[in-house]
Structure 1
Amino acid sequence: MMMSDIAKDRTAHLLKKRGSVSSLSNHEFRRKEPHGRTKDSVSTVSYMDEPCQPEDASRLTVHMENTYQLGPTKHFPVVIVNHILKDVLTTYLQEEQYEPELCRQMTKTISEVIKAQVKDLMIPRYKLIVIVHIGQLTGQSILIGSRCLWDPKNDAFASFIFRNSSLFALANVYTVYFE
């Protein structure tokens, strides 16, 4: 069944009123279907025909902001961390005697306590590394060294050595700024 020319004109007129343009013109587009029948095709394109008002333009402005930071806003408080190291080592090891198995467990416990207390300082974007060494005092000497590759402007470390009559302990906290 074919559309009459009047029906096509009405359809085109209604579509133009609504903001759509019909592809129908004087030349109809006919497509053959698989069974040999022809089918009329109508396609529409929608548009907005209202001018942009100045207040709409102000709402659409994009504000650019540089969020990349070149270094920490708050530096790592080495003095406070040194006090934490002193307090924790003194509290846990003041009355202890050196026993290998006990000291092995104490290094794990003390390092976790130190890490938790330093994290409570809420210093953003720093990665923490806590290392605790405990050894027996028997008259010999020991040298403990460490090396790190870091940015001296942003990265830092804190260290404290504890001794009693039976043992020594060395606690190090390394802080690396994470960009």
Structure 2
Amino acid sequence: MMMSDIAKDRMTHSVRKRGSVSSLSGREFRQKELHGYTKNSRSTVCYTDEPSQGDEASRLTVQMENTYQLGPTQHFPVAIVNQILKDVLTNYLQEEQYEPEHCRQMAKTISEVIKTQVKDLMIPRYKLIVIVHIGQRKNQSILIGSRCLWDPKSDTFSSSVFRNSSLFALASVYAVYFE
């Protein structure tokens, strides 16, 4: 090999590594390089296929942040929900008499109204379960129970009881934090 062949090989290797392509001919490129003028010059496109180790160190490092939360940022407002339950039960059942078919429909309506009003509080990431029981008052007793599997740190409930001369009502709202 001659000296010019070795130089061409180095130049080719350098071009492949750096990825620079010049639209100037070899003679024009050398004249521009030697004399530093830009008359009749053409554009040069450069790109990098393989970054050198110096380039990797100069890049900005991306810092990742864990955004997973282990609990609610805003707790469920039990006192406000208790007041909503009391107000809705009183407004809907104050003057009502117990009739089985009418009370079945009233239980559905009251539970939807309660759920809508609690959702209007816009408490993030809580799933709501609303249950309303309406029964007749005739000197009998009733025991209503519920069991749930939940985290006592973030999950909670609210309930309210209403009574008039003809009926009783129990409304419960269960708030389960959704992770």
Count of paired positions: 143
Matched, 1:52 2:37: no
- Distance in 1 of aligned mates of 2:127 and 2:75: 13
TM-score, normalisation: structure 2: 0.71
Q: Deviation per CA, 1:36-61, whole angstroms, max 9, x where unpaired?
A: xxxxxxxxxx835776387x612xx1
**Distance (whole Å) between structure 2 residues aligned to residue 53 and residue 110 of structure 1:** 64
CA distance in structure 1 between the partners assigned to 2:177 and 2:51 by the alignment: 54
Q: Deviations over 1:90-124 (max 9, x none)?
A: 01111111111110001101001101111111111
Aligned pairs for 1:8-157 within 5 A? 17=15, 19=19, 47-48=49-50, 52=55, 57-58=59-60, 61-157=61-157
What letter corresponds to residue 63 of structure 2 in structure 1? H
**Post-superposition offset of 1:159:** 0.5
Aligned-pair Cα RMSD in Å? 2.5
Taking the aligned partners of 1:167 and 1:99, their CA distance within structure 2 comes to 9
Q: Which amino acid aligns with 1:129?
A: I
Give the Cα–Cα distance (whole angstroms) in 1 for the partners of residues 116 and 129 of structure 2: 12
Tell me the equivalent position of 1:42.
none
SS class of match (2:59) = helix
Q: Which residue of 1 aligns with 2:34?
A: none
Q: Flag the 1:160–1:53 CA change in 2: closer, same or farther, 3 A.
A: closer
Structure 2 distance, partners of 1:106, 1:133, is 10
Cα distance in 1 for residues equivalent to 2:88 and 2:51? 73
Q: Name the CA distance, whole Å, in 1 between partners of 2:76 and 2:62.
A: 36
1:48 and 1:139 map into 2 onto residues whose CA distance is 87
TM-score, L = length of structure 1: 0.71
Q: Name the SS of the counterpart of 1:52 in structure 2.
A: helix
Shift of 1:139: 1.2
Q: In 2, distance between residues paired with 1:48 and 1:175?
A: 55
C-alpha separation in 2, matches of 1:15 and 1:91: 86
Which structure is higher in helix share? 2
Taking only the aligned residue pairs, the percentage that are identical comes to 74
